[in-house]
Amino acid sequence: MATVTSTKTSTREFIGSGWPKAPGSNGNGSNGNGKRKWFRGERHFSKDTYRITTWILLAAIVMMFVALTSAYIFLSGDQQWQPVRMPGTFIVSTGIILISSATMTAARRYLHKGNHRSYARWLWFTLLLGFAFVGSQLVGWKQLIAAGVYVSGNPHSSFFYLFTGAHGLHLLGGMTALSYLAFRARRVLLGVNHEKRLAATDSISLYWHFMDGLWVSLFLLLLLWN
C-alpha cells in the first residue's frame, strides 16, 4: 500500500513540475532577471535581423537587374532593334518617385524624434505618391500602346515593358510594407515594440530609396541607350 501511495505522489510531482526546466532557470520561471521571456512567447529582438534581411533582398534585386541590363545592352546591336520614344508620363513619374524619397526621409526623421503624428502623416504622403507613380506608369504603357509599341514588337520594346513592369512589382512590395507601417503609425508603442518599429521603418526606408534610385537608373538607361 505504501508503495502505491509513493508512486501516486511521484506521479503528481512529475505532472505538476511541467516541462523540464530551461538551462539557467531556478525552478520558479526566472533566469536570473526574474523573467523567462521565451516562456511568454517573446523572442530576442535584434536590429541586425531587419538590416541583414533587407540587404540580402536588395542584393538579389541588383543581380536580377544587372542580368537584364547586360542582356539589354547586348541585344541593342541586333538588327531588329528599333528606337522607342520615351513616354512623357515616365518623366512625370520620375519626379513623383524622387519626391516620395524625400517624404519617406521626413517620416523616418520624425519617428526618430518621437513625433508619431508627423511620422504617420509623412508615411501616408509617401504611400499616396507610390500610388501616383504606379498610376503614371500605367498611363505611360497606354501611351506606348497608342504609339504602336507592343511587348512583342521588337527587343527594345520588350525591354521597355520588362524593366518598368519588374520595377513596378518590386515597388508594390515596398508599398505593401509601407501600408502596414502607415496603418499602425498612430499606435504609440514603447519598449521593445518601439525599437522594432524604428528598425522596420529604417529597413523599409532603405528599400524605398533603393527603388527610387533603381528607377532613375532604368529611366536613364531607356532614355540614353536607345
Q: 124: pLDDT confidence band, cut at 50, 70 and 90?
A: very high
224: its cell numbers: 540614353
Q: Is residue 77 part of a domain?
A: no
Instruction: Give the pLDDT confidence score for residue 32 in this predicted structure.
Output: 43
Asked whether residue 140 is assigned to any structural domain, the reply reads: yes
Would residue 172 count as lying in a domain? yes
Residue, of 226 and 58, whose pLDDT is higher: 58
Count of domains forming the chain: 1
- Mean pLDDT throughout 8-25? 44
Any domain includes 160: yes
| Average pLDDT of the residues in 48-71 | 92
Mean per-residue pLDDT over the chain, rounded: 81
In a domain? residue 113: yes
Amino acid found at 97: I
Q: How far is CA 174 from CA 12, 33, 76, 207, in A?
A: 54, 39, 31, 7
Least confident of 18-22, 175-179, 182-186: 18-22
Checking if the pLDDT of 33 tops 70, the result is: no
Residue-wise pLDDT for 193-225, tens only, equals: 778 888 999 999 999 999 999 999 999 999 888
User: Could you list the residue range(s) of the whole structural domain that residue 189 is in?
Assistant: 86-224
Question: Measured between alpha carbons, how far is 199 from 50 in angstroms, rounded to an integer?
Answer: 7
Q: How many other CB atoms are found less than 10 A from the CB of residue 157?
A: 20
CB proximity list for 18: less than 8 A, separation 6 or greater: none
CA distance 170 to 183: 20
pLDDT for 186: 67
Q: Model pTM?
A: 0.77
**Position 90 pLDDT exceeds 50:** yes
CATH number at residue 139: 1.20.120.80
Structural domain includes residue 194: yes
84, 68, 61, 73: which is closest to 151 by C-alpha? 84
42 assigned to some structural domain: no
Residues 33-55 have a mean pLDDT of 61
Is 106 part of any domain? Answer: yes
Percent of the chain with pLDDT over 70: 77
